[in-house]
Amino acid sequence: YINNLYNQPDKPPIYPDPFSFPIMKQTWAILLETRCSLEKLFDTAQEMGLKIDRGVKISRNNFYRLFRNPFYYGSFLWNNEVYPGKHEPMIAKADFDLAQRIIDSRSFPRAKTHVFAFTGLMRCGECGAFITAEEKTKHQKNGNTHHYTYYRCTRRIKRDCSEPPIRSDELEGQILNVLGKITIPPQFKEWAIKQLKEEHGKEKIDRDDITQAHRRNLDACTKKLDALFNMRLNEEIGPEEYARKKDDLTQEKQKYEGLIADTQDRIETWLKKAEEVFSFAQTAQNRFEAGTLEDKRYVLSCLGSNLVLSGKQLRIQVDKSLALIQEVAPDVQSLHNRLEPAQLVDSTTDWEALYAQNKKWGS
């Protein structure tokens, strides 16, 4: 990779070296395909002409370290933590993980790094710096050892920032509390999506009428352009008038082409997004509680923006797409809590009838 030191406008801050990038990418492919040792791979890379800055050949030890660097799958290591980067990745994360298993199976020593779920997502409420994480170990007098993860301000903006650290379990508890306020049961999700699809069917009729009107206007523009061209061929109008009228008609034609495309895509996109939002609201809490670090990070990033940690309290601006669900979810949860334990509702049809009676979200 090359750093864009001179801020060339046509290049990103970090971009692939046109010579070494393809060679290095090929060495990753060889490792994954042949599962060879790094010793053998180093010799192969030398034969391929791999070099580093200013054409210097890379040393064996430095070559080995390259294959432990998350930079190649699009992240970067800072203070022994992995953060998402913005540069072009050389390989996929799954291929990088497979490469680590191949290397580990050959007993190559691996540096220990920690990956935390929420680093890079939150900012400090006092100074605005990013929130980082670290592991701490506490040894008790009885011999027990406890490991804790704390999230804290990096203090890169204000070195004496007084924002206190917060344990990961406390932070996750706050996130779960917010997730609980948007969680909906599967019956309500299915009913809501059904209502949206019915509404989509009505919209489709209106959309088709609008599209037909746009098509008629588009056809009229096309005919006018053809007629204008014939007038120019017959020298009925001069070149300047022809060019002016052609530009006007072309712009009008492009406008109707855009309106047709927008009308076709707008409702389909809206329905797909709505289905994704309702599915997220149903599953997010369970996914966060039982999922991997990647799952937890994904859920929090989808939940909202402007994540600020202030006074050991996480402030979340819930995503606009979840705002309506956040408004109705408490009533839906209350309805289910009243009726489900007593088994008063035992069919999808009964639930749909109950939902429809509610003035807030029913018909």
Which residue, 115, 271, 250, is CA-closest to 204? 271
Two structure tokens written together for 244: 């002016």
Looking at residue 341, what is its pLDDT?
A: 55
Residue among 138, 131, 136 at smallest CA distance from 171: 131
Residue 109: the pLDDT is 46
pLDDT for 205: 62
Structure tokens at 332: 């839906």
Alpha-carbon separation of residue 199 from 33, 155, 193, 262 (angstroms): 51, 51, 10, 18
The answer to whether 27 and 45 have CB atoms below 8 angstroms apart is yes
Which amino acid is located at 176 in the chain?
L
198 three-state secondary structure = helix
Q: Strands 123-124 and 304-310, how do they pair? A: parallel
d(CA 203, CA 211): 12
The Cα 320–Cα 355 span in angstroms is 23
Give the H/E segment covering residue 213: helix 186-233
| Per-residue CA distances from 125 to 128, 209, 314 (Å) | 6, 51, 9
The pLDDT value recorded for residue 278 is 93
Query: Residue 129 has what pLDDT?
Result: 92
H or E stretch covering 218: helix 186-233
The pLDDT value recorded for residue 9 is 76
Q: Could you tell me the domains of the chain?
A: 2-104 (3.90.1750.20), 123-175 (no CATH)
Q: Are 7 and 27 in contact (CB under 8 A)?
A: no
Which pLDDT belongs to residue 311?
A: 96
pLDDT in tens, the chain (363 residues): 777 776 777 777 888 888 888 889 889 988 887 888 888 888 888 888 887 665 677 888 888 889 988 999 988 887 777 878 888 899 988 889 888 888 887 654 444 556 788 988 999 999 999 999 998 888 777 778 888 999 999 998 999 999 999 999 999 999 999 999 999 998 889 888 888 777 766 666 667 777 788 888 888 999 998 898 888 888 888 888 888 998 899 998 888 888 877 766 666 677 788 889 999 999 999 999 999 888 999 999 999 888 999 999 999 999 888 988 998 898 888 888 877 654 555 555 577 777 777 666 655
Give the pLDDT of residue 233: 84
User: What angle (nearest 5°) sits at the alpha carbon of residue 22, between those of residues 16 and 25?
Assistant: 100
Please tell me the predicted confidence (pLDDT) of residue 290. Answer: 92
Question: What is the DSSP code string of 28-49?
Answer: HHHHHHH---HHHHHHHHHHHT
The span from the CA of 114 to the CA of 331, in Å, is 41
pLDDT at 265: 64
